[in-house]
Amino acid sequence: MGQEITDSRFADSAFAEFRRRLDVETDLLRDWLAQGRLQSDERRFGFEIEAWLIDADARPMACNQAFLATLDDPLVVPELAQFNFEINSEPLRLESGALDAMHDALAVRWQHCEQAAATLGARPVLTGILPTVRSGDLSLDHMSPLQRYRAINEQVFRLRHGAPIELDIDGVEQLHHRHADVMLEAATTSLQIHVQVDADEAARAFNVCKMISAITVGAAANSPYLFERQLWAETRIPLFEQAVAVGGSDYSKRVTFGVRYAQESIFECFEANRTRYPVILPELMDTPVEELAHLRLHNGTIWRWNRPLIGFDATGRPHCRIEHRVVAAGPSPRDAIANSALFLGLFEAFMRAPGPIESLLPFGVARDNFYAAARFGLAAPLRWTDGVVYALDELLASRLLDTATTGLAAAGLGGDEAERWLGVIRDRAQCRTSGADWQVAWIARHGRDFPGLVDAYVRHQADNTPVHEWSLT
């Protein structure tokens, strides 16, 4: 969904022609999968991490165009709102030294972001939802000047017949809110982890990502506040699901955990894209059919929490990867890489487990676990593969961190490197202090001073210490 388009308004004929091209490209992908064209003998991974720009008063600062021009880094790009941006990583093989290298590159790039923002009187922040954001900040006046964003807004509201977004989140407190555009999505900043897989194992990889989503979303929870209301530990989840909803069914939500595991092939997702999801960006591109441009653009407007992607390497060879979208941004670069290590370790361990591992955790249980973990974070009660219900912090400490260590070792990472990153999660679980927990504890001590909360958060983040070591000062 990072590609730009040429217009934000479309004729009916454009929708018809786009659907025709989507049919052709979907059929071609099916043929490629049958022919083994998307085989891969290596595991590569990378990430996108979204961030905020704030001013001296800890409020969103709409200056990403000037910030990006000052930074001049092709891996740092605009996001939906003018106070958001996104950092992309270079993909790496999952092997010894990879997590350390990912951290070092992110830490250096983050320092450059801090320096570039400072020249504008701004500060960058990695957090799931900025505690000081207000409804008025999330308006079309603050949308980044890219046609694709305006087109999404127009098409979502076309499908909604002009009805406003109805936000309804019941958490520790309640929030009922109406919004006239899709800019609520700008409040949901995340760490999106990509992992490349062989097409023959892509269905299993897709299912494994669903199974472990509860673990990663709860362990990395960092979004307890929206519009100064305490809601879920990871309020990004219900917020994003409701922010671009175009109807009431599971398929029309556009942001969804899904309705089942993949049964036979990852192609099932792309067939569902074709048959279940209305086209909202019918941009017609003069490209060879082999680039799958229309299929990829349409897939980019369906924000599954675990999303299969088709990409191409530098030689034009196609590949498949899964984008794990459930993890919040922040709290620090070290936390972000630790969260990635947890995901990758569990992913590798489960991919190597014998037999149909999906049978150990029925889809309905995986789905219920996911929403429980988003709501309650490290304290969430989760039913695991043995049928026993554990608190997430207990499940991590007693079983899953050892599982993740085994997975990283199988991928070739040494014990010291694995412990360096999984040890952050181990200590976080022992202290029961995620980013969400720290924010709630800070407010409990200091009162509902949200600018003060953000100032303290940014100060700790600048030290690049993991959140469980942050003081409440």
Per-residue pLDDT of 225-283, as tens digits, reads 999 999 999 999 999 999 998 865 545 689 999 999 999 999 999 999 999 999 999 99
Q: How far apart are CA 261 and CA 296, in angstroms?
A: 21
Q: Please count the other Cβ atoms lying within 10 Å of the Cβ belonging to residue 252.
A: 15
Q: Which tokens in the block code for residue 51? A: 């961030």
User: Please, are residues 373 and 382 in contact by the beta-carbon 8 Å criterion?
Assistant: yes
Average pLDDT of the chain to the nearest whole number: 95
Band (pLDDT 50/70/90 cuts) for residue 420 is very high
Band (pLDDT 50/70/90 cuts) for residue 10 is confident
pLDDT confidence of residue 314: 86
Over the stretch 284-294, which tens digit does the pLDDT of each residue have? 999 999 999 99
Band (pLDDT 50/70/90 cuts) for residue 106 is very high
Q: Which tokens in the block code for residue 362? A: 């029925």
Q: How far apart are CA 325 and CA 307, in angstroms?
A: 8
Helix ranges restricted to H, 353-466: 363-376, 392-395, 401-410, 415-431, 435-446, 450-462
Pairing verdict, β 76-78 and 165-170: unpaired
Band (pLDDT 50/70/90 cuts) for residue 1 is very low
Helix ranges restricted to H, 72-146: 98-118
291-295-300 Cα angle (round to 5): 115
| pLDDT (mean) for 426-432 | 98
Q: How far apart are CA 342 and CA 221, in angstroms?
A: 13
Tally: H helices and E strands in the chain: 15, 14
Over the stretch 44-96, which tens digit does the pLDDT of each residue have? 999 999 999 999 999 999 999 999 999 999 999 999 999 999 999 999 999 99
| pLDDT (mean) for 202-215 | 98
**Which of 341, 352, 311, 45 has its CA nearest to residue 196?**
45
Q: Please count the other Cβ atoms lying within 10 Å of the Cβ belonging to residue 412.
A: 15
Q: How far apart are CA 470 and CA 457, in angstroms?
A: 9
Over the stretch 373-414, which tens digit does the pLDDT of each residue have? 999 999 999 999 999 999 999 999 999 999 999 999 999 999
Above 90 in pLDDT, residue 25?
Answer: yes
Largest CA-CA distance found in the chain, in angstroms, rounded: 61
**Which of 252, 217, 240 has its CA nearest to residue 377?**
217
195: left (phi over 0), alpha (psi -120 to 50) or beta: beta
CA distances from 457 to 42, 382, 431 (A): 38, 29, 18
pLDDT confidence of residue 246: 83
Give the pTM.
Answer: 0.96
Q: How far apart are CA 98 and CA 412, in angstroms?
A: 10
Q: How far apart are CA 348 and CA 420, in angstroms?
A: 18
Looking at 37-46, 113-122, 212-221, 446-455, which range is the least confident one?
A: 37-46
User: Please, are residues 425 and 341 in contact by the beta-carbon 8 Å criterion?
Assistant: yes
| Percent of the chain surpassing pLDDT 70 | 97
